[in-house]
Amino acid sequence: MSKFREEFLRLPLIRQRLEGEAEGGHWWAVSSRDAGAVHMPLRSHSDGNLFAPLMAQVMFACDMAEALNRHIHHDGRWIVQLVDPDLRAFVPLVVTEAVLYREFRFIWLDEDGDPQFTFECGEPLEDWLLYGWGSWVTSAEEAHAQWYTHMREVIDPRKEGALYKRAQGETAPSAAR
């Protein structure tokens, strides 16, 4: 069980990160709970339109959120975000049931709720599904290992002020100390 607290998913910084990852566009995201149940979506409502992903993408995102958070949570939490919907077929005033999202992101939050890094993929949907969840978990674990090495060998977290809890409202230490 991870040390991550569920309420961190509702912090303003998390929504800001999701908006930033989508570069101001539409997005759809999901995470999971420690018990394995899917914590249903953090959705984009920026302009009043909600574009639901294809069912295959919803299943992929939910399966990946559960797998990542079960097998490699590292006391934090993974969010799976779908970005860049293909809106070419969308016609205003016509309700579409689902839209193809062209990219996904795995965003890892540390135990304090701070987003630390993003693993992104722009492969076609067929590849998302063909590679299988084990392959994506392995890739995410490799990305986490690279981030961890960088944070522990390049940045010395023991140095006062090197790391702080931004998501919880801590401000960056002054460089003028």
Query: How many folded domains does the chain comprise?
Result: 1
Six-digit token string for 27: 């997005």
Asked whether residue 146 is domain-assigned, the answer is yes
Asked whether residue 81 is domain-assigned, the answer is yes
Place of tokens 């392959």: 135
Q: Any residues with CB less than 8 A from the CB of 177 and at least 6 apart, and which?
A: 161
**Which H helix or E strand runs over 65?**
helix 55-71
- Do the beta carbons of residue 139 and residue 118 sit within 8 Å? no
Does a structural domain hold residue 35? yes
Q: Is the pLDDT of residue 157 over 80?
A: no
Concatenated DSSP letters of 34-64: TTS-EEEEEE--TTS---PBPHHHHHHHHHH
Domain housing 47: 6-159
Higher pLDDT, 126 or 24: 126
CB 118 within 8 A of CB 107: yes
- Identify whether 98 is part of a domain: yes
CA pair distance 46, 9, nearest whole angstrom: 18
Most confidently predicted of 51-60, 115-124, 149-158, 162-171: 115-124
Q: Indicate whether 67 belongs to any domain.
A: yes
Most confident of the following: 47-61, 96-110, 114-128: 114-128
Assess if residue 73 is contained within a domain: yes
Asked if residue 168 belongs to a domain, the reply is: no
In a domain, 95, yes or no: yes
pLDDT at 6 exceeding the cut of 80? no
pLDDT at site 176 = 46
